[in-house]
Structure 1
Amino acid sequence: MKIWICAKVLSKCELLFLVCEAQTCPLSSRWEEDKYEDGIKWKFLEHKGPYFPPKYQPLPHDVKLYYDGKPVKLGLAAEEVALFFAQMLDHEYTTKEVFRNNFFRDWRKEMTEEERVLITDLNKCDFGEIHAMHRERVETRKNMSKDEKQVNTEANQKIMDEYGYCLLDHHRERVGNFKIEPPGLFRGRGEHPKQGMLKRRIQPEDVVINCSWDSRFPEPPAGHRWKEVRHDNTVTWLASWTENVQGSFKYVMLSAISKLKGEKDWEKYELARRLKSRVDDIRLQYQNDLKSKQMVTRQRAVALYFIDKLALRAGNEKEEGETADTVGCCSLRVEHITLHDVLDGEKCVVEFDFLGKDSIRYYNKVPVSKRVFKNLKLFKESKQEGDDLFDRLNTAMLNKHLSSLMPGLTAKVFRTYNASITLQEQLRELTSDNMAEKLLSYNRANRAVAVLCNHQRAPPKTFEKSMANLQTKIESCKEKLALAKRELKQTKEEAKGSSDSNTVEKKKKAVQRSAEQLLRMEVQATDREENKQIALSTSKLNYLDPRITVAWCKNMEVPLDKVYNKSLRAKFAWAVEMTELDFEF
């Protein structure tokens, strides 16, 4: 694979750096093409459509579900859903009441009338044999021979070759998520009220195909037809459908390393960089608006204060059909904040407690300015639980105001700006020359962003075990270092008066190697402990200008693969190629 980079002069005399897999055309013809008029993404698009998961294979005859102690032979539809539940018996989800209730309700919808009459209580169902079969299959996959793994690899590569590429304006581009997600049970994040519901199997009749009118249209699977074939070149998705649990749209998109995706990323971070030169004026304005005579202006100013200082989302992230009680800044209700005149020695403290995007709890205690605090008291007057805190404001109004201050500016740009500037400022504090400590410092800077953006995760199930194993290695390394020091001391004493210093130097190097190994392990343990409930990947993928990381790696002589995995290096290849040592966000 070869990555090509070049520059193209835009109408505003800016340099736009783009990246692509130039596999089917010379560099010049790829990048010297005219820029399309506003809104047009492509002129030609051809692809194979999405890849559908294989059909359900019935359980072996000797594997059964038991109800009230008696074996039950289910129809294929109900049997498949029973398998979904059995596969998750090791997970705490299946112990949650909401998960079990949602599953049982949807499972009964897949049963025949006879099955529904028989099976009326989930607690009387025994999925043990099905679960045991599932575990056996998992172990079999783990223990596949090298030849068996090679067969699987070749089969997957064949699927990739057929469905994983498209022709975009007659250039070969990678397709991202071309595989339709198989059916299963919805998990959600946090305490999602729909967890346990059945995610139904997507059929070709559910899928809308998007391609150019003069291309070879994708062929649906035998015996099926597409819901629709359209030719919309103002969007970049190749196929779409609606999933049944939340009613949200799903898309087959271009890969993150495609030309259009790289261009979109570049534009996003450049927009955030432009905010840097305007942010002081914007902050001054919303500070002045805090004392406006118009209530809507005051509410807008306080909302902007929260979005800027706390990186809160604006509040329009809830997907269509989602019933979880999730909110953002503009949709906060009075019960989501508690005001403390004094708390833990701090004055004017706001205590936040609400469910944010993906039902992740946001809990924070933050000192605010007196004027913000006074306004919040005013907003809460004569209101009860369930009433909107910002009852004169919504996200559309807020973004309209922001776009009047700077073209293209939305509340989300503040999140990208504050995340990126935080990373850059944190990295400036780094002074260590040791590689392990450099990486720890980078992860700490990344964690500062993750905390700011409330990117949480549950500790991995294997966390305690892996930490115990690492601690055992640390203790062993300490013993090894102590032994090396004793041997060095003994060698020095034996070498007194001798002209032979080679043995002493060898022992010194052995001590140094052991000390370096111990330091690496101790730093690794610290890093794991600090990171156990923080998700670093979300900010890396979506909010941090990659040029900050690339420039830091170049300046600190840290290999990029130490902080960016393969997929991130491919996604941000444009940043890898264009970033100079002196880059400033």
Structure 2
Amino acid sequence: MSVGIQWEETSKSSVKWRQLEHKGPYFTPAYEPLPDGVHFLYDGKPLKLSLAAEEVATFYGKMLHLECTSKEVFRRNFFSDWRKEMTPEERRLITHLDKCDFTEIHKHFLERAEARRTLPREQKQKLKEEAEKLQQEFGYCVLDGHREKIGNFKTEPPGLFRGRGDHPKMGMLKRRVMPEDVVINCSRDSKIPEPPAGHQWKEVRSDNTVMWLAAWMENIQNSFKYVILNPSSKPKGEMDWQKYEVARRLKGVVDKIRAQYQADWKSPEMKKRQLAVALYFIDKLALRTGNEKEEGETADTVGCCSLRVEHIRLHAPAGGQEHIVELDFLGKDSIRYKNHVTVEKLVFQNLQHFMEDKDPRDDLFDALTTSSLNKHLQDLMEGLTAKVFRTYNASVTLQEQLRVLTRAEDSVTCKVLAYNRANRAVAVLCNHQRAVPKTFEKSMQTLQKKIETKKAQVAEAQVELQKAETDLKMRGDSKPKSFLQKQRRLLKLEEQLARLCAKATDKEENKQVALGTAKLNYLDPRISIAWCKRFGVPVEKIYNKTQRERFAWAFNQAGEDFEF
């Protein structure tokens, strides 16, 4: 396999460098064996494992408290991969996962984690200094004479793959990344990074059309991992800006594109009609095109072009609505996409026609391929992809929702709640889901207790103020200092209660929605910054420090009147 070509195509950049020098990635330290007092048990008896088998056993033991270890597919995949790491003797002996007891291993790592949390301040400071030393050595590169921060200079440690959703590969062994797996990218005249002693790089190249410093293929999905610049670096900022500018260019032609694909719904040519309906789905539902699966991929994930008849259901009119389409399929990262939508009449009729005389496993768009759709998008506008549509529609949705939901007279707390609701509308559009956090119920109960306590304090303060007002009226006095203090205390408590209630509402509404993905990858930050300036909301309420550094380029470009 010529992986080099694939790497280049997946990470091409319009920002080209002249000089690039760095130290290469930092590799995960070698495995430390378990202490003598910590045992793995098989069929109730302690069993000393070989080093390779013991390391994989610790991966499972660390995760024993997680729900995924109770899933059959996780357990099956883990046991299969674990047995490959065993000696022949261990394989003959260990034949059933149900007879394996990882309890002592799990307890050991819990105690280690607790010990790290309770370290004396001096030891914590020492660890912090060691981490900073590592950051200074491996976490920066020199790019065209400038020292730039690297985003992820450490290779991912070995472990068990969890995936997202009900991924069919969950539980499989993520192997340790070795220098022999890694391609180094640096300028020809720079000092080539030294590989760890006794090792060598897979390849050293100089390609200034890509923005990665090192790359390798991981073994689970056969996908490529990269060491790249920190999002706050100048080149990454330029690439971010270019991405959003391409999406803004779409704004100028989107009406023409929509008019064209709507006209093509009536085309006598089947391919044109399928292309037009697929483009409608990409535009209105933010679907991905659906790239070909990597070799060895087992997850039945699909995108727009690879939708099958079984993924679509057409419903009869109901509740005053017509032309209802139900979509149900596994999308990227095995996240389920399930949606009921009302579509245009011609779209509905075309879908009926596309589904005629087909089996459930047949392709819905059988006259369409990902490459032909991507070529069509490029013909419509240079640089246009399904992702550009997602970025455009996400940003426009945020801007429109903020316009509807924000009231100038509201408190900052209410404005932030409005922002999160606008952001959630985008996350729903893009199908950015997450599982309800395990700690959700407990944290909500804690929050409700705080709200009840605060309500009691407000009620008490109201009684005190009313009593003080009655006393003043009876005496006919002017308002003394103590009365004004009671007024201020009540106002402060009411503000605190409002913040707690807003936090509870926000938490409940967003428990199954991942807001961060859209905010960091699909929403033009200039919209959010301009909104903050326009309505007097501190930008720290929307972006944390790391995010503000990433979007530093946007602050000078986003005046109060910025329009996407």
Structure 2 counterpart of 1:440, from 379, 395, 417: 417
Where does residue 5 of structure 2 map in the other structure? none
TM-superposed CA distance for 1:313, in Å, is 1.2
Where does residue 494 of structure 2 map in the other structure? 515
The aligned length equals: 548
Where does residue 467 of structure 2 map in the other structure? 490
Instruction: Please list the CA deviations of residues 449-507 of structure 1 after superposition, one character each: whole Å capped at 9, or x if unmatched.
Output: 00000000011111111100110010011111111111111111111233230233222
Structure 1 residues 269 and 46 mapped into 2: Cα distance closer, same or farther (>3 Å)? Answer: same
Work out whether 1:469 is the aligned partner of 2:446. yes
Work out whether 1:542 is the aligned partner of 2:517. no
Secondary structure of 1:329's partner?
coil
- Look up the equivalent residue of 1:242 and give its one-letter code: M
Secondary structure of 2:180's partner?
helix
Instruction: Please list the CA deviations of residues 540-567 of structure 1 after superposition, one character each: whole Å capped at 9, or x if unmatched.
Output: 1110000000000111111111110112
Structure 1 residues 138 and 40 mapped into 2: Cα distance closer, same or farther (>3 Å)? Answer: closer
CA contact (8 A) 1:318 1:357 kept: no
**How far apart in 2 are the matches of 1:253 and 1:79?**
33
Where does residue 58 of structure 2 map in the other structure? 83
Where does residue 348 of structure 1 map in the other structure? 323
**How far apart in 2 are the matches of 1:549 and 1:347?**
36
Structure 1 residues 317 and 137 mapped into 2: Cα distance closer, same or farther (>3 Å)? Answer: farther
**How far apart in 2 are the matches of 1:470 and 1:46?**
50
Q: Using the TM superposition, name which of 340-349 and 147-156 deviates more.
A: 340-349
- Look up the equivalent residue of 2:417 and give its one-letter code: L
Secondary structure of 1:347's partner?
coil
CA contact (8 A) 2:15 2:235 kept: no
Where does residue 208 of structure 1 map in the other structure? 183
CA contact (8 A) 1:248 1:321 kept: no
Work out whether 1:328 is the aligned partner of 2:303. yes
CA contact (8 A) 1:208 1:228 kept: yes
Instruction: Please list the CA deviations of residues 6-25 of structure 1 after superposition, one character each: whole Å capped at 9, or x if unmatched.
Output: xxxxxxxxxxxxxxxxxxxx
Work out whether 1:180 is the aligned partner of 2:155. yes
Where does residue 456 of structure 2 map in the other structure? 479
Instruction: Please list the CA deviations of residues 194-241 of structure 1 after superposition, one character each: whole Å capped at 9, or x if unmatched.
Output: 000000111111111111111100001111111111111221111111
TM-superposed CA distance for 1:180, in Å, is 0.1
Structure 2 counterpart of 1:57, from 11, 32, 43: 32
Written as runs of structure 1 = structure 2, the 5 A alignment for 1:76-225 is 76-225=51-200
For structure 2, the residue ranges without an aligned partner over 5 or more in a row are 1-12
**How far apart in 1 are the matches of 2:317 and 2:218?**
48
- Look up the equivalent residue of 1:549 and give its one-letter code: S
**How far apart in 2 are the matches of 1:574 and 1:146?**
37
Work out whether 1:68 is the aligned partner of 2:46. no
Instruction: Please list the CA deviations of residues 75-111 of structure 1 after superposition, one character each: whole Å capped at 9, or x if unmatched.
Output: 1100000000000000011100000000001000000
**How far apart in 2 are the matches of 1:419 and 1:197?**
35
Secondary structure of 1:219's partner?
coil
Secondary structure of 1:338's partner?
strand
Written as runs of structure 1 = structure 2, the 5 A alignment for 1:262-281 is 262-281=237-256
Where does residue 367 of structure 2 map in the other structure? 392
**How far apart in 2 are the matches of 1:318 and 1:441?**
39
Written as runs of structure 1 = structure 2, the 5 A alignment for 1:240-389 is 240-316=215-291, 318-319=293-294, 321-389=296-364
Where does residue 6 of structure 2 map in the other structure? none
CA contact (8 A) 2:15 2:239 kept: no
Instruction: Please list the CA deviations of residues 162-218 of structure 1 after superposition, one character each: whole Å capped at 9, or x if unmatched.
Output: 011111112111111110000000000011000000001111111111111111000
Work out whether 1:501 is the aligned partner of 2:483. no
Percent identity among equivalent residues? Answer: 64
**How far apart in 2 are the matches of 1:411 and 1:68?**
53
- Look up the equivalent residue of 1:501 and give its one-letter code: K
**How far apart in 2 are the matches of 1:319 and 1:556?**
47
Secondary structure of 2:563's partner?
coil
- Look up the equivalent residue of 1:418 and give its one-letter code: N
**How far apart in 2 are the matches of 1:513 and 1:561?**
22
**How far apart in 1 are the matches of 2:384 and 2:173?**
39
Written as runs of structure 1 = structure 2, the 5 A alignment for 1:566-585 is 566-585=545-564
Secondary structure of 2:212's partner?
coil
Structure 1 counterpart of 2:435, from 458, 464, 475: 458
CA contact (8 A) 1:185 1:196 kept: yes
**How far apart in 2 are the matches of 1:269 and 1:52?**
35
